[in-house]
Amino acid sequence: MVVIRPTRKLHSALPAMQNAGASDTALGDWYVNRVVVDRQQLLLLVSATSLLPALVRARNVRALPTQIGDIVVERLTRLAIPQSLIEAERRAMATVHIGATVDRSVLGIMS
């Protein structure tokens, strides 16, 4: 199970929050913030465990829970992570919960 932890301004754009503990994936919880670069709306995702970032277009924020696995797989593939580790992370991310932010140090990196 993986937990997406959106910033306050993204809460209304995502499905309702669940009671979420901590992620049991290798990369941990994913913090998400909306940023604007050159007038383009983007989502900045940051792994709470490794601080690995991913930047994607904010086209359909509501679908992020179904897309986060693909986003992470693409990012890990670009980094030439062994396929067996990528698949293990993908399987661990099969269940997605949305929870409140709990780690202010990650939020400081994202602003």
Mean pLDDT score, 87-95:
97
* pLDDT, averaged across the chain: 91
Mean pLDDT score, 49-67:
95
Check residue 19 and give its pLDDT: 73
DSSP assignment of 6-58, as one string? E-GGGGGGSPPP-------STT--EEEEEEEETTEEEEEEEETTT--EEEEE-
Share of the chain above pLDDT 90, in %: 77
Check residue 89 and give its pLDDT: 98
Sorted by sequence, the CB contacts under 8 Å of residue 60 that are 6+ apart come out as 67
Task: Report d(CA 88, CA 63) in Å as an integer.
Answer: 22
Mean pLDDT score, 76-100:
96
Task: Report d(CA 85, CA 29) in Å as an integer.
Answer: 17
Per-residue pLDDT tens digits for 19-31 = 778 899 999 999 9
Give the closest residue to 50 by CA, choosing from 7, 13, 111, 103. Answer: 103
The pTM for the full model equals 0.90
Between the CA of residue 63 and those of 46, 74, 105, what are the distances in Å? 17, 17, 26
Check residue 102 and give its pLDDT: 82
